[in-house]
Amino acid sequence: MVGPPPLQGLKVLEFAGLAPGPFAGLLLADAGANVLRIDRHTPSGSVPAPDLLTRHKSSIAVDLKSPAGVELIKELAKTADITIDPFRPGVLEKLGLGPDVLCGLNPRLIYGRMAGFRRDGKYALMAGHDINYLAVSGFLSLVGRSGDKPYAPYNFAGDFAGGGATLFQGILLAVIARGATGKGQVVEANMVDGTNYLATFPRQVLKTPTGDQPRGKNLLDGGCPFYDTYETKDGKYMAVGALEPQFYAALIKGLGLSNQNWETRRNDRETWPEMKQLFEMIFKSKTRSEWEAIFDGTDACCTPVLEYPELETDGGREGDQRPSVALRDTPCLAIDDKGTDPSIHGQGPGVPGRGYVGDILTPNQGGEEALRDWFRWTKGKDFEVKDGAVVLKTKSKL
């Protein structure tokens, strides 16, 4: 029998921020945690920065620069399980909401902190973005074609994988540790260390034949003709990853190059430029669909490079969005609004947008219900909203 999601019952205070902090909160929310985003109180009529990582979350707006706002956060922290601090070092400490204060009020609190650079490093007090964290971690030096400049791969490597997902992992480790010790702790995550950890294998193979050549000339970074992408006749692409001999043989067969001695020259790097030019010419002779018809069902490790618009609309593709991992007995919440099979998609009816469209969570959206569920507070009796900011009632009994 399918049970509730794995983190149901955990209460999370997520201070509103950009990318990695909200993503950590999203991962917690998708796993069933009750995530309450603390939005900054803004003057009437102003629009807060958009955040699309809001699935399964609620919000309250709080004036963190006012004593009343600080007191409200302290009251929430007394029974919260987790906080997510997405700010640069020292911001919440200056507001009187640092880990010493909140963990002092609630020793079971897990105080998750997300930074870009190391808090104790050379760049600690500098501003930065994903590309900067990749740069100083060494990760960025590995990405790019031979003879070209390093290339920042969107922002998923630093912000999301090295940042938000790493903080999520640290929070889960702290939850497990709290089960044994009864105490919470501060969880420190930063995108430099997180990204560098992700690059463990590429960093280590720099000292082996697999990766000791300049950027773009190695086995896995675009230098190898049988581990690369190729344009097709219709301007689309196929991805080739035929590293092992038997997979390479299947690739050569599909390309019509069997019995031309290419199998014996697979690892001869001197022939790689010629091999790549030949592959480029052959792949451009057919459309992507034609190549799919040739390679589907084979072990050639040759697949189409699918784009999200076609994944979203083509029911025959693997485009239905799902949680990152399937827990058969306690599945995470569904992402696709049709994902109701717990053994496949996750639990529940899902959310609108099917994982392709993110809804903006407006300040105070769902907040009243969250405060009722957490504390059994009611508006007018225990708290009120003044000029868009939630504050405690002076005479409330807490």
- The DSSP result for 63-128, as a single string, is -TTSHHHHHHHHHHHTT-SEEEE-SSTTHHHHTT-SHHHHHHH-TT-EEEEEESS-TTSTTTTS--
Coil, strand or helix: which one is 350?
Answer: coil
| CA distances, 383 to each of 36, 306, 355, 387 (Å) | 16, 50, 34, 13
**Annotation says 148 is catalytic:** no
307, 229 Cβ separation under 8 angstroms: no
Residue 33 to residue 386: CA distance in whole angstroms = 28
Question: Burial, 374: exposed, middle or buried (Cβ in 10 Å; 0-12, 13-18, 19+)?
Answer: middle
66, 44 Cβ separation under 8 angstroms: no
Residue 325 backbone dihedrals phi, psi, to 5 degrees = -145, 145
Helical segments of the chain, H only = 20-30, 67-77, 91-94, 99-105, 130-137, 166-181, 191-198, 200-204, 245-254, 272-283, 288-295, 308-313, 367-375
- The DSSP result for 310-348, as a single string, is HHHH-TTSS-S---SS--SSSPPBPSSTT---TTTT-BS
Q: How many contiguous H segments (helices) and E segments (strands) does the chain have?
A: 13, 11
Of 81, 159, 221, 382, the catalytic one is 159
C-alpha neighbours within 13 Å on the C-beta side of residue 343: 1
Q: List active site positions.
A: 159
